[in-house]
Amino acid sequence: MQALAAAAGIATSWTDAAGQGHSVTPDTLRALLAVLDLQANSPAQIRESLERAAALPPPRPDAAVGPRCFGLDAALGQPGRPPRAWGATAQLYGLRRSGDPGCGDTTALAGLARSLGKAGACCLGVSPVHALFGADPHRWSPYAPSSRLFLNELIIDPDDIAGPAETARALETLGLAARARAAAAAPLVDWPEVAAVKRAVIDHLLKAHGARLAADAGWQAFRAARGRPLDDHAVFEVLDARFREQGLTGGWPSWPQDFRDPRRSSVANMAKSAAEAVDRARLRQWLAFRGLAGAQRAATDAGMGVGLIADLAIGVDGSGAQAWSERAGGLNGAGILTGASIGAPPDLFNPLGQNWGLAAPSPRVMMETGCAGFRQMLDATLAAAGGIRIDHVLGLMRLWLIPDGASPAEGAYLRYPLAEMLDVVADVSQHRRAVVIGEDLGTVPDGFRAVLAARGLMGTRVLWFERDAAQDFRAPEAWEDGITATTTTHDLPTTAGWWQGLDIAWRERLSLFGPGETAALAQETRTRDRTRLWSAFTNAGTATGPEPAPDTPAPVIDAALDFLGRSRAPLVLAPLEDLVGLDDQPNLPGTIHEHPNWRRRMPAPLPGLVETPAVVRRVGRVKMGREKGVTRGR
């Protein structure tokens, strides 16, 4: 069975972040082989499966060879000159603007991009805006989308349809004005309430103005470009809403058999009978895209060389629109694997491992189709952006797959055609003139980062992890070239939260410590790390004086942003949470509803939020670091 697993691309062993080796159990191998449609329950089955696996086309071995991605230097109009650029990152849903009905939208995003562009930022990275389940607003994680080809309709600003006065009248007519105001004032996004209000008012406006919008040349070009996938997505949205009303809440696998294939006559008949609802679903996608494209124009008009950096999630929900659509054309569902979920093995930061509940793409189908679906996703993601961040970029090489019902530690790595996928990344990047960032954190195989660098993908380095062998924080000049540098990510504590130990308190409260870990031990380590970090800042000249108390994080944030600015990284990304000085992180891995994941809003509306003295000062510290820092050869 081990020979069969190797032939199928399943690793039979793996090494953890501490360098300790582990063997994959026979039960895990057997389960994952079944996911790949390679049965291994008897010697005869194994022999037959080996013959089938041997017929698969082998991936190209040298992934470092091939075209390079579009470079940051070229995007900034300085080809061949090492960039010293900076930008910011933000959770789009958390942005506030006057008149919003409870979550961020493309108008707020455009406003933030203008403010940052005028301050000298070259880019603004945003959390994923992939399509979620329109009929189930309780599934709001941006990293668990229904489709990576289309957009979350809740990013639409209803004012874009017919103006703010018409939106206000619609809210009053529908009796939703008071609910919209209450949702807007809340400190957290109430996704079910926001969805109810926004969808009602958007559909009300589309009934009145849909004919005018459908005559727009921009809509007609969008529909022509997106073609059948757009039709499939719109039909899925209508079907999913109808079946959920009947209690079938498990997505397309729970639907009646006649509706599980998008090419069945029953689906076509339903689409015809519900033509108005399907048309509105298509138009909502265009409105979301038009708003996002408008934010990109606002960014570049304000002086950003790159503009928006979109985020490509690592996978999709297997019960969603994209998995349903891919059942067509003879794939019979094979484009998306079922029976296992993507996750991560236990590591130093998540000792219990992680199960992300996402369906993985089929490497066999990728090889058979020349990665056509992957190309389509990249192109759609970059249609309204100047760059892309590929979440868990290690997924281009391998994914940790966990059989259904198993723990995260009971998974194994499945190999993907890295060279072929990087060819597609580079080709789309050059065509779209878009920079590419890879989120290469966690357990990274030897040589992988060198492959990314050879192809022009910028890696990601986070302040908390940049340590030497003695666990001291690396000096700015010791950071690498060819990367993006940031203080933190959405899955990690903010600088203020880290300094105060709030992440440790959350992990204790929710019992997220692994074997041998305790809150007391973690706090002891954090005490030593605070001293190490402040020492690194003072040595670099970004801080002076004694170490601040744990409940005084403001000077630490200032020093950290200056510190990153002085690094060799061509691009520094300052999280908006740190620029504002927030305590809490957007997401806490290992939780769903125990922590307010993907719900936190900014404390004030734009543009005032980024005009406060604290934010202006911190932007200045980033820029100062960029001016004072070092590059290779200086």
Residue 349 has pLDDT above 80, yes or no: no
What average pLDDT does this structure show over 497-521?
A: 93
Q: What is the mean pLDDT of residues 546-559?
A: 98
- pLDDT of residue 590 exceeding 90: no
Q: Is the pLDDT of residue 329 over 90?
A: no
Q: Which pLDDT value is given to residue 631?
A: 47
Residue 30: per-residue pLDDT: 96
Are the C-beta atoms of 632 and 82 separated by less than 8 Å? Answer: yes
As a whole number, mean pLDDT of residues 81-105 equals 96
Q: How far apart are CA 116 and CA 112, in angstroms?
A: 6
Cα(540)–Cα(221) distance, integer angstroms: 53
Q: DSSP letters along 473-536, please?
A: BPPGGGSPSSEEEES--TTS--HHHHHHTHHHHHHHHTT---TT--HHHHHHHHHHHHHHHHHH
State which H helix or E strand residue 148 sits in.
strand 147-151
**Which tokens go with 524?**
């002891």
Residue keyed to tokens 């992990």: 507
Rounded-to-integer distance, Cα 127 and Cα 89, Å: 8
SS (H, E, C) 297-319: HHHHHCCCCCEEEEEECCCECCC
What pLDDT was estimated at residue 634? 35
Q: How far is CA 600 from CA 186, 585, 592, 596, in A?
A: 10, 8, 14, 7
Mean pLDDT of 269-280: 97
Task: Say if residue 333's pLDDT is above 60.
Answer: no
Tokens of 311: 């985020």
Tokens standing for residue 426: 């580079």
Name the DSSP letter for residue 158. T
Residue 175 burial (CB < 10 Å; 0-12/13-18/19+)?
A: exposed
Structure token pair of residue 386: 């100047």
Q: How many residues does the chain have?
A: 634
pLDDT tens track for 381-409? 999 999 999 999 999 999 999 999 999 99
408 Rama class: left (phi>0) / alpha (psi -120 to 50) / beta: alpha
Give me the pLDDT at residue 443, please: 79
Dist. CA 541–CA 557, nearest whole Å: 14
Q: What residues are paired with 467 via a beta bridge?
A: 473
Element (H, E) at 585: none
| Integer Cα distance of 282 and 271 in angstroms | 12
Is beta strand 483-486 parallel, antiparallel or unpaired with respect to 571-575?
parallel
Indicate whether 609 pLDDT > 90.
yes
Give residue for tokens 């170490």.
547
Beta bridge partners of 126: 90
Q: Sorting pLDDT into bands at 50, 70 and 90, what band is 330? A: very low
Q: Can you tell me the distance from the alpha carbon of 320 to that of 250, in angstroms, rounded to the nearest whole number?
A: 9
Q: What is the pLDDT of residue 633?
A: 39
Cβ-count burial of 444 within 10 angstroms (0-12 exposed, 13-18 middle, 19+ buried)? middle
Q: How many helices (H) and strands (E) does the chain have?
A: 23, 16
Q: Please give the residue that has the higher pLDDT: either 500 or 327.
A: 500
Band (pLDDT 50/70/90 cuts) for residue 331 is: very low
Phi then psi for residue 100, to 5 deg, are -75, 150
Residue 460: φ, ψ to 5°: -125, 130
Between the alpha carbon of residue 213 and those of residues 3, 9, 174, 271, the distances in Å are 58, 49, 22, 20
Distance CA 285, CA 131 (A): 9
Query: 307-312 and 123-126: which strand pairing?
Result: parallel
pLDDT at 389: 98
Closest CA to 234 of 288, 292, 266, 279: 279
Mean pLDDT of the chain: 94
Identify the H or E element spanning 125: strand 123-126
| Structure tokens belonging to residue 511 | 């019992």
Q: What is the DSSP letter of 145?
A: -
pLDDT (mean) for 557-574: 97
Q: Specify the 3-state DSSP secondary structure of 559.
A: helix
Q: What is the pLDDT of residue 328?
A: 60
Dump pLDDT digits (tens) for 350-370: 778 889 999 999 999 999 899
> Which band of pLDDT confidence, cut at 50, 70 and 90, is reported for residue 630?
low
Q: What is the pLDDT of residue 624?
A: 96
The pLDDT of residue 114: 98
Residue 212 has what pLDDT? Answer: 96
The pLDDT score that the predictor gives to residue 334 is 53
C-alpha distance from residue 377 to each of 158, 381, 528 (Å): 26, 6, 44
CA dist., res. 564 & res. 486, Å (int): 7
Q: What's the CA gap between 388 and 397, in Å, rounded?
A: 18
pLDDT computed for residue 632 by the predictor = 43
- pLDDT tens-place string over residues 239-273: 999 999 999 999 999 999 999 999 999 999 999 99
